[in-house]
Amino acid sequence: MSISMEIISFAQSLDMYGEPDQHEAYSLSGHVSITLSSSSSFFDRGRTVRALLQSLTITFEGQTELVSEETGYTALRLCSISKELVTEEPIELSNDEIEDRCVWNVVFNLNIPGWLPASAAFGESGGGTRYTLYASATIDCVDDDSSRTWFSALCAPFRAQLRTVKAESTIQVNRFAINPSPIASSSDSLFPQTYFAVSAQPEQIDEGSDFPRDILSKIRVQISTPVCVGMEEGALPFTLRLSTDQLPEDDCKRLRATDFSVEVEQSERYRTSPQPSYITQYPVPPKSQQPPRKPLRNAHPVHALYDVGLTAAQPPDRVLSRSFSLLPEDVCGMYKVAGDGYIFTHETEAGRDTTWFSLQTSVPLDCSLPPKDERVDDWKYQRSARPTSQSPFLNVSHRLYVTVTCTYDIVSDQEPQRAVERLRFHVPLYFVHVQPVVQCEPVSPATLNGQEEPVAETISIVNLPVPSVPYSHSLPAYSQLFYSNGDRKIDYSIPLPLYTPRSPDNNIDVLKTLSSLDHVVEEVDVV
């Protein structure tokens, strides 16, 4: 008898929505497929395959590992969720002499916490955050004595009656931003705009600069960017607004804004030990369940070198940082202001409120992976755009840096002498994955009785169905509500409501109703 087992999940991936939240949970369902095959031979053919499934445990385990020469090897178990699928008596598995091969499917459903980080690869090859389903079954092999040949009986004492069969399957965990309402989002972005009132500072503080400091301090700057930036959008729309705060008319006429530059930067911070704030915020398993006290089931091969001390361990609090631009290589990020640059002269007009001069543009982004032939194997030179995220060993953040060039006419003349100053500031950005869209193909005309029936052709682009919040995270699996034959499951642990006697008023109403019914019956009998 040969026994094999396979884990088949109902969905290709586990999709989570919104910010990580330890008060949310998701359903991961599927079935464990157990295949029994009779071993046919010259001495033993056509036997009935019989086995007892003593236990079947399904486990969802998450782990994160950081592997590099600079940081060494560090591992952490994120979660370990197990469930026993054989809760009562052992289950008999048999082919009933019908086929040589029979398959049994055992349905499972696990509650996965909603705070887990998404699957990601970082560091050297093989490191990152991964999730795996493990199944372990204990099967007692039972043969039918009536069909056993003399050769099978002779070899029976040497056969292993109790077998342990294992299987595993990788689960991809994705995290998407909740799609905003189409009314709330702008035409240039999938997400609504958020506004910042920034405090712009000179790029370099130079005491010998001719630019008047009191005038520089009165330049007001506002900026608007999307609340979130989709990794698949390819552009960042933003608006820069400039104004002055009670600046005299003569100074407004001398002040100019000539150009501004934009830079979108991604910063990554790698740690050799789990971030303390992350361990405190989320229910990570305790140290007794962490490696090396409890090794990972599928650890990186390099962990053996560190366990036996062949490789020197790195300091526990070491932090490795790197930053790079997300702008395309052919984009410099410099934008010129149209005209002569004297944009603050309109504020000198009498009777007018504070005037804001708006500069609006769309910055292209390059969030695609670079070609493999242009990068070396060293992970430090692999520029990979990632969503803004936080995990035990890796924090990814994004910023938008803006530099505005301002000039001030010290001597007003046909060729004025100007002092130049650059104001620099930055605002945070939040990069997210957006649920992909599906394009509906046009409906072809239908044919009825040999004649084409005209059907309206429609083409629409719709988002994939996103369950409503908060019900999407609490919907149970089908196996929790119904049996395999379709009968509804009844939870007898919920008690029925207590009996409450009827009030006298209710008894009078019941008597009136009965008397009226008797009257109707008498009338029917008479007719």
pLDDT digits (tens, 9 = 90+) for 363-373: 999 887 554 44
Checking if the pLDDT of 465 tops 90, the result is: no
Q: Does residue 450 have a pLDDT over 50?
A: no
Both tokens of residue 409? 């006419």
User: pLDDT tier at 282 (50, 70, 90 boundaries)?
Assistant: very high
pLDDT tens-place string over residues 493-513: 677 777 777 666 555 554 554
Predicted local distance difference test score (pLDDT) of residue 526: 37
Percent of the chain with pLDDT over 90: 33
Residue 515 corresponds to which tokens in the numbers above? 């008397």
DSSP state letters, 149-175: -HHHHHHGGGS-SEEEEEEEEEEEEEE
Long-range residue pairs from 211-216, CB within 8 A, at least 24 positions apart, any chain: 211/406, 211/408, 211/419, 211/420, 211/421, 212/251, 212/408, 212/419, 215/247, 215/251, 215/255, 215/408, 216/406, 216/421, 216/423
Rg (CA), the chain: 35
CB contact at 8 A, 225 and 193? yes
Average pLDDT value for residue range 12-21? 90
| 196 neighbors 399 (Cβ within 8 angstroms) | no
Mean pLDDT, rounded, for 422-449: 70
Give 336 or 45, the one with higher predicted confidence: 336
Whole-number pLDDT of residue 307: 67
Question: Which residue is associated with the tokens 């130079």?
Answer: 206
> Is the Cβ–Cβ distance between 137 and 55 less than 8 Å?
yes
Q: Which residues contact 310 (CB under 8 A, 6 or more apart)?
A: none
Phi-psi region of 333 (alpha: psi -120 to 50; beta: other; left: phi over 0): left
Domain boundaries, the chain: 2-176, 193-272+323-432
- How many other β-carbons are positioned within 10 Å of the β-carbon of residue 142? 16
Domain range 2-176, CATH architecture: Sandwich (2.60)
Torsion of CA 15, 17, 19, 24, to 10 degrees: -80
For residues 458 and 3, the answer to whether their CB atoms sit within 8 Å is no
* Dmax (CA) of the chain: 118
HSE of 265 in the Cβ direction (CA atoms, 13 Å)?
A: 15
CATH of 193-272+323-432, one of 1.10.287, 1.10.357, 2.60.120, 2.60.40: 2.60.40
Topology alike, domains 2-176 and 193-272+323-432: yes
- Using the structure block, give the residue that is written with the tokens 């630019």: 211
SS (H, E, C) 95-156: CCCCCCEEEEEEEEEEEEECCCCCCECCCCCCCEEEEEEEEEEEEEEEECHHHCCHHHHHHH
In sequence order, which ranges of 221-281 are alpha helices (DSSP H)? 249-254, 276-281
Secondary structure (3-state) at 253: helix
